[in-house]
A and B are shown apart, each in its own frame.
Chain A
Amino acid sequence: MTAASMSVQALVGRFATDTPFELPVIDYRLLMPILIILGAGVVSVVIEAFAPRRARRPLQLILVLGSLVAAFIAVVGLAGTQTTTAAGSIAVDGPALVMQGAILVIALLGGLLMAERMVDPSGDAFAPRASALPGSDDERQFAARGYLQTEVWPLFLFAVGGMLLFPASNDLLIMFVALEVMSLPLYLLAGLARRRRLLSQEAAMKYFLLGAFSSAFFLYGAALIYGYAGSVDLPVIAAQLSGKPSESAIVLIGLGMLLVGLLFKIGAVPFHQWTPDVYQGAPTAVTGFMAATVKIAAFGALFRVLYVAFGGMRWDWAPMMWIVAILTMLIGSIIAITQTDIKRMLAYSSIAQAGFILVGLIAASPAGLAGAMFYLIAYGFTTIGAFAVITMVRDGNGEATHLSKWAGLGKKSPLVATLFSVFMLSLAGIPLTSGFIGKFSVFTAAIEAGAGWLVIVAVVASLIAAFFYVRVIVLMFFSEPNDQTATVAIPSVFTTIALAAAATITIVLGIVPQPLIELLANADVFVR
């Protein structure tokens, strides 16, 4: 105890006095996953600039898929590490590595979806030239010439790099940098849709403006916390808080502002307004990728901030998070019922799911963290699978996202409809799917932590949510197909692999979850 406070004083002293600047020791091996992806991002920009048009796509694909696999291997190689590097500003510990691994695998599936060029007869899902104004002559010309761009790949890689850093940041400033590295490419990706470009650009604009706004909140919160603790280092903040039991308003306001920034990214009520528009407007492959991975990365950061830095203030933030979690679960589930567009429905569903994961956060225990990580992984694969199906369900105007066009799909394409049903059942939390084990882990942890009432609300919300998930299944299987019914485009090997992998993981994690549970149980402690 005294040793810890001594070292804290030493640290604080370093900021206060004019000691000479020390170069931080950086262990590059520990940062390898992040470096591989960001390095690949830089190479990707170079390819975009210098490689001949024909060579770009194969080069980019090899680079993207290769770097994701390499980074995943690097993450696996670091398994069991529990330390910090770069002067304590980046944590390499169980939760960080688990979330990085999950993000990389899901990003791999997301990348496969973005690489798809078979389902849309006019090429791929992305605008031939993002800079051409929608409806302009330029745009028509580019479309007529059949231009296909590969500019999504550098953006994609930088976004993944930011996501890898986000849950590993052990310092509020690094966390902010990670937040921006992750978000800026995503804003752009959201605006790149080939079809319904105005909707897509509107989505990008909204996402950018609101995202920038929430980032500012985060930064201001970090500044206030620094004002209190004299450091942006999460463990130092924790030590400072435990040293001075009397709370200061500045800490509460600062924490509240940090939470605004983080809750915005996970799409929790009342910071959820962007979700439906962005999910609907963004190209579906991007939506799937983003919905799954951003949630993992942002929850990783949220957990780290609340557990490591503000663990001692649990009784201050828990009531606030109770309210947020309850509102998120109920509002997400209830509004989803009224949706007629499948992408908007899944957007509200993702809001509700964020609420369920918050239940694990409120448990404030290693079990809660492990449960939430299981939930995030389960949710990630299920979500990307569901969006993969949406990319394939089309009519003459591109993707048929209106629910009425899904009527009778089960009769026209039983296999695809069945896969989609599996994803819906998993999101609804039905046994033998990964979603069930996720809900079970999270709810158990919450009850153990004495949040029984919250779990009762969560169960009620699950019931409401089950209604709209099941409704899609009903629509697909129990309506007769009509001339409005969409058709399922035959995808290339890319989407097929992504879809098969997502479905397999959803079912396998539902039936034999033990290996992953054990893995998570060994990785449920943050380095401090």
Chain B
Amino acid sequence: MNTFPWLTALGVLPLVGSIIVALLPKSRPSLAKQLALLIALATLGLTIAMALQFDGGSAEPFQFTESYSWIPAFGISYSVGVDGIGLVLVALAATLVPVVILAGWNDVEGDSSKGSGSVKGYFALILVLETLMIGVFSATDLFLFYVFFEAMLIPVYFMIGRFGGPQRAYAAVKFLLYSLVGGLLMLAALIGLYVVSANLTGTGTFDYLSLVGLDIDPMTQRLLFAGFFIAFAIKAPLWPFHTWLPDAAAQSKPGTAVLLIGVLDKVGTFGMIRYCLPIFPAASVWYAPVIIAMALIGIFYGAFVALSQQDMKRLFAYSSMSHFGFIALGIFVFTTIGESGSVVYMVAHGLSTAALFLTAGFLMQRRGGSSMLGDYSGVNKAAPVLAGFFLFAALSSLALPGLVSFVGEFMVLLGAFQRYMFVGALATLGIVITAAYVLRVYQKSMTGPLASGLEGMADLKGREIAALVPIALLTLVLGVFPAPILNVINPAVNQLMTTIGATDPPTTLTTSTSAEGTLQ
């Protein structure tokens, strides 16, 4: 079975699906949805089948590898493969796509101005995006990664710009221009890296494993690192590159926002782990204090702004920015537990974002699409199931122990403490604010007297529950029993630590913690 091109098949399936969906007649919107869901579920099935074949103890850096020459003149090849980190993120993407399709079943039809033609368009775009997301997490050639990284802009741009709120054009362009700026900086760094590889080895290459071993001089590393890092920091987004996110999130359909924040933005933090650290180890250490400072500012800035937001979608966007601060913090403290924690955090944040945005989306749909917090109160009286899921999502966002977000956050903080006690202590304060704004949203919208206009509000329907249950189950199961993903992530992280030559600082803190046990 090792010869089966798993990752290519995973990428091609949604792509073919999207073409078929796009070619369906306009008069059959429901067929388009059913087909899109079927394809997304088949992709998920294939992902699970692949994940079961993954060998956690393998000494190979990447598994399910394939490599075909593409543009040999520039040392570019179509090379894919995943390590543990790539695998969990591919799995995250494959899990969230069917959920988003199911949850966004009727999101597009409401727009009478668009005609029914756009229904299939929206679902075709989601499937194209799935192909690109799988590609971006599994590329092992930097050029291929870059192509996927940039190509992702197109479907997202159209998903925001064609199917979003009233300010959608503005938001879509802002998103696109920010991303293009980052992308072009990365392009410059990419070309620089190619030239460096040509100077050091004689032939330029974009092959990841060849680039990791290069001994690049520190000054060049710093320049190239900056190109990559800014692109990833815009994507993630970290403070101060974040201003596109609240607009994009506020103007998107809930499903778009889930894919955007839940999966796409992870490409930024994934890129930091996969590319910035191993290829530019010296520069990573050199920049670490600045980045940790940025991460801390992001944690607090995002949280404080979220505390004062009246618009729920913007609030969740700022809260995500705060969470991305935690992820970046875990990456740049260079401890095993911090790196593993960051990856878990990425998965956890993907799940909790999905839960939050989708539940909030269901809520807003019941009140003409308003996302203003002031329009809601006492929802738990009219729609207890919805309120229940909302509470669950909120608790998942504030990292309640027993949920997977807690595992990630705890590990990240532990990693931070190990390296810099002060940073860890400061970041921990961020949790308190998170709890404050998350609970404020719940309290304002769900409790109290029922707001006028919400009388007779329908509770969640079967389809909506079906979309939320898998997320809730995963959040819960992985929260109580994180070993399956930790076992996959840890070998990759250990490999990373060896590559960048980082060692965990000796400390007495870790020996007494439970998380250390799961790390072996």
Contacts and interface: CB of A to CB of B under 8 A. Distances in A.
A470 B179 CA distance: 12
B185 A459 contact: yes
B237 interface: no
A283 B158 CA distance: 34
A391 interface: no
Given A514-B70, A514-B73, A432 B151 contact: yes
A444 B194 contact: yes
Contacts of B161: 474, 477-478
Interface in A477-528: 477-479, 513-514, 517-518, 521
Contacts of B195: 444, 447-448
B188 A455 contact: yes
B276 interface: no
Interface string B153-194: 000001001100000110011001100110011011001101
B373 interface: no
A459 B187 contact: yes
- Could you say which interface size class chain B belongs to? 20 to 34
A470 B177 CA distance: 9
Given A514-B71, A514-B73, A459 B150 contact: no
A457 to B, nearest CB: 11
B162 A459 contact: no
Given A444-B194, A455-B191, A463-B184, A431 B169 contact: no
Nearest to B148: A431
B72 interface: yes
A484 B47 CA distance: 50
Contacts of B168: 478
B93 to A, nearest CB: 20
A427 interface: no
A521 B73 contact: yes
B146 interface: yes
B256 to A, nearest CB: 15
A456 B150 contact: no
Given A447-B192, A448-B195, A474-B173, A431 B146 contact: yes
Contacts of A447: 191-192, 195
A513 B191 contact: no
A440 B191 contact: yes
A407 to B, nearest CB: 11
A466 interface: yes
B72 A514 contact: yes
Interface in A59-92: none
B74 A440 contact: yes
A444 B74 contact: yes
B211 to A, nearest CB: 15
A142 interface: no
A443 interface: yes
A280 to B, nearest CB: 26
A431 B73 contact: no
A466 B180 CA distance: 8
A448 B198 contact: yes
A430 B150 contact: yes
Contacts of A463: 180-181, 184
Interface in A424-480: 429-432, 437, 440, 443-444, 447-448, 452, 455-456, 459, 462-463, 466-467, 470-471, 474, 477-479
A518 B73 contact: yes
A86 B29 CA distance: 69
A127 to B, nearest CB: 40
B15 to A, nearest CB: 14
Given A448-B198, A513-B71, A431 B184 contact: no
A518 B71 CA distance: 10
B162 A477 contact: yes
B147 A431 contact: yes
A437 B191 CA distance: 12
A470 B153 CA distance: 12
A344 B438 CA distance: 52
B180 A470 contact: yes
A524 to B, nearest CB: 12
Contacts of B169: 474, 478-479
Contact of A470 (B147, B150, B173): B173
A443 B74 CA distance: 12
* A432, A440, A452, A478, most chain B CB atoms within 10 A: A478
A521 B71 CA distance: 13
Contact of B191 (A430, A444, A466): A444
Contacts of A474: 161, 169, 172-173
A432 B144 CA distance: 11
B139 to A, nearest CB: 13
* B70, B74, B161, B181, most chain A CB atoms within 10 A: B74
A194 to B, nearest CB: 36
A447 B72 CA distance: 19
A471 to B, nearest CB: 8
A430 B151 CA distance: 8
A153 B161 CA distance: 45
Contacts of B191: 440, 443-444, 447, 455
Contacts of B70: 514
Interface string A266-302: 0000000000000000000000000000000000000
Contacts of A443: 188, 191
A369 B336 CA distance: 48
Contacts of B73: 514, 517-518, 521
A495 to B, nearest CB: 26
Interface string B195-222: 1001000001000000000000000000
Interface string A326-343: 000000000000000000
A440 B190 CA distance: 10
B9 to A, nearest CB: 20
Contacts of A440: 74, 187, 191
A471 B173 CA distance: 8
A466 B184 contact: yes
Contact of B184 (A462, A471, A513): A462
Contacts of A478: 161-162, 168-169, 172-173
B150 A431 contact: yes
Interface in A34-53: none
Contacts of A477: 158, 161-162
Contact of B192 (A452, A471, A513, A521): A452
Contacts of B74: 440, 444, 517
A101 B198 CA distance: 32
Contacts of A429: 184
B147 A432 contact: yes
A197 B246 CA distance: 50
Q: Lowest 4 A-B CB distances belong to which pairs?
A: A478-B169, A517-B73, A459-B188, A447-B195
13 contacts: A429-B184, A430-B150, A447-B191, A459-B185, A462-B184, A466-B184, A474-B172, A477-B162, A478-B168, A478-B172, A514-B70, A514-B71, A517-B73
Interface of A: 429-432, 437, 440, 443-444, 447-448, 452, 455-456, 459, 462-463, 466-467, 470-471, 474, 477-479, 513-514, 517-518, 521
Given A477-B158, A477-B162, 15 more contacts: A430-B150, A431-B147, A432-B151, A440-B74, A444-B74, A452-B192, A455-B188, A456-B188, A459-B185, A462-B184, A478-B161, A478-B162, A478-B168, A478-B172, A514-B73
